[in-house]
A and B are shown apart, each in its own frame.
Chain A
Amino acid sequence: MCPICGERDYTEFRYGGDATKPRPSRETADPKVWHDYVFLFDNPKGLHREYWQHVLGCRQWLVLERNTATNEPGESRLARMDVVTCEGEPK
């Protein structure tokens, strides 16, 4: 489901990774914080929030809620409207 184009086939979309992790602020110097942000995943079995791009449609980046145990999709919204941007920085 694309918030702009409506319900579209899943082959029009491309997966773009975990959207639950807030990006550390640019001033963060602690390598552990960056390590955890870049390399570690919750990888839940159940509800998850992830980035998808509507590559064969409006090309917008989306944040989709999906159940990884059933593949059932939930809400989607434009990624730029999502709260998960840089921590401590204006959106």
Chain B
Amino acid sequence: MRPRYSALSLLRHAVAETPWPRAWRVPDPKPTYDVVIIGGGGHGLATAYYLAAHHGIKDIAVVERAYIGSGNLGRNTTLVRSNYVLDGNTQFFEYSMKLWEGLSHELNFNVMLSQRGQIVLAHGPSQMDVLARKGNIMRLNGIDAELLDRGEVIKLLPYLDHSGEARFPICGGLFQQRAGTVRHDAVAWGYARAADSLGVDVIENCEVNSFVIDGDRVRGVNTTRGRISAGRTAIAVAGHSSHLAAMAGLRLPIESHLLQAFVSEPIKPFLDHVISFGAELFYISQSDKGGLVFGGHIDGFNSYTQRGQFPKVQTVAECAVALIPSISRLRLLRHWAGIQDMTPDGSPFICRTPLRDLYLNGGWCYQGFKATPAVGWCFAHTIANDDEHPLSRCYSLDRFARGRELDDYGVGNWTYKQ
């Protein structure tokens, strides 16, 4: 058992000469496990943790192709919020928000949740109506939401372009105070350490090549480090969900697209909230190191390259400068891309599959990071009970066939427009 982190252990360690012990083991894969989870991102690690902590299943392996958190968990813009419209999404993401609020204590690892508040801006009266409706839906579900008029936005965010020259004049916004950011790497490390201390094997550099299929049942995986038999197998590999599913002979309602994120050179603190532009898909916040972290739409065509296209850099930079003219001289420090599963309705899957003992979590579109704790919670329930959790029942694989799409943005059936 690893030492608990506390102020006292920090002090004691400051005077000790021994280095901190490893936060989790580096185990070799055993030939067999009760549950094998493919994908050592936030979702896979959280699922392993909740299975071990709340469902009494401790014989678990999380197999990861590279190192943990090397996929989309390390590539997102770290935002957490729960401002959704449709029943199903609203309750699920609010549950996730509540789990975020207690996560550092639950894991004994500071994930640095910063509830700095998120403001979605409106640039016209009709958009104000949309935000008012959204705010009302949130409040009816017990979620905090406050509609701001133009004066209140100017007071809160004086550095936005409120002049007469603004291409998209700001009329107001919707404020969720409990929204904010989380340090994404700490989520990987916190869940890995907590799961490991409960006996979960976190196996890095272990790529799955195929499934062991016996009739209509999945009995394990063949990996680059040998065969691993499993009572139950779970897929949590957003970006490559179709790729893995194809190994099991399944076709999914998913296309893989690129989403870029950007960080500027660090500057002194000036952007205190998370801000979402209303005229384009664009969101910006400032990290603790001072860099402005922002992102926009997906690149627009399917790709597995993890490389962004330059024209999108320009579009996103134009959004940034249209919204906050004072940052026009800032230099971009880095930009990168992650592969995301885009689904026809913009909503994910946490469900059983047509094959027995094979479970799927994927299709996360833009929203995988903020969902991490609730995904772990619900996916663990699904795996342990061979049944969907009430909160994620709406995220089934057959919802299109049943006419139960959850298209929160009202985009329609195009993966690349969601």
Q: How far is the CA of A77 from the CA of B256 in the complex (A)?
A: 24
CA distance A10 to B309 in the complex (A): 10
Please measure, in the bound complex, the distance between the C-alpha atom of A89 and the C-alpha atom of B317, giving whole angstroms: 47
Q: Are B301 and A50 in contact (CB under 8 A)?
A: yes
Given known A-B contacts A45-B240, A68-B304, A35 and B252 have beta carbons under 8 A apart:
no
Interface size class of A (residues with CB under 8 A): 20 to 34
Q: B400 near A: Cβ within 8 Å? A: yes
Which positions 136-182 of chain B face chain A at CB distance < 8 Å? none
Distance A7 CA – B255 CA, assembled complex (angstroms) = 27
Q: Which of B240, B252, B301, B311 contacts A41 (CB 8 A)?
A: B252
A43 with B401: CB separation less than 8 A: no
> Which listed segment binds A: B91-99, B190-198, B216-224, B409-417?
B409-417
Given contacts A39-B344, A42-B251, are A68 and B303 in contact (CB under 8 A)?
yes
A48 in the interface, Cβ–Cβ < 8 Å? yes
Q: Is A40's CB under 8 angstroms from B416's CB?
A: no
Bound-state CA distance A70–B306 (Å) is: 9
Q: How far is the CA of A77 from the CA of B414 in the complex (A)?
A: 23
Q: A39-B413, A42-B242 are in contact. Are A69 and B305 (CB under 8 A)?
A: yes
A11: which B residues are within 8 A, CB to CB? 311
In the complex, the answer to whether A45 meets B243 with C-beta atoms within 8 Å is yes
Q: Is the CB of A41 within 8 A of B415?
A: yes
Query: Are A43 and B416 in contact, with the CB atoms below 8 A?
Result: no
By secondary structure, the A interface counts as mixed
CB of A82 within 8 Å of the partner chain: no
Cβ–Cβ contact B304 & A40, under 8 A? no
Q: Mark A8-51, 1 if CB is under 8 A from B, else 0.
A: 00110011011000000000000110011011111111001010
B88 at the interface (CB under 8 A from A): no
User: How many whole Å from B305's CB to the nearest CB in chain A?
Assistant: 5
Chain A min CB distance to B296 (Å)? 15
Residues of A within 8 A of B401 (CB): 31-32, 35, 39
Chain B residues near A52 (CB, 8 Å)?
Answer: 301
Closest 4 CB pairs of A and B: A43-B242, A15-B301, A39-B253, A40-B251
- A-B residue pairs in contact (CB < 8 Å), sample of 27: A10-B309, A15-B302, A17-B416, A18-B255, A32-B401, A35-B401, A38-B344, A38-B400, A39-B253, A39-B344, A39-B400, A39-B401, A40-B251, A40-B252, A40-B253, A42-B242, A43-B242, A43-B243, A43-B252, A43-B254, A68-B302, A68-B305, A69-B304, A69-B305, A71-B303, A71-B305, A71-B307
Q: A10-B309, A48-B302 are in contact. List 20 more A-B contacts (CB 8 A).
A: A11-B311, A17-B415, A18-B255, A31-B401, A32-B401, A35-B401, A39-B344, A39-B401, A40-B251, A41-B252, A43-B243, A43-B256, A44-B242, A50-B301, A50-B302, A52-B301, A68-B302, A68-B304, A69-B304, A70-B305
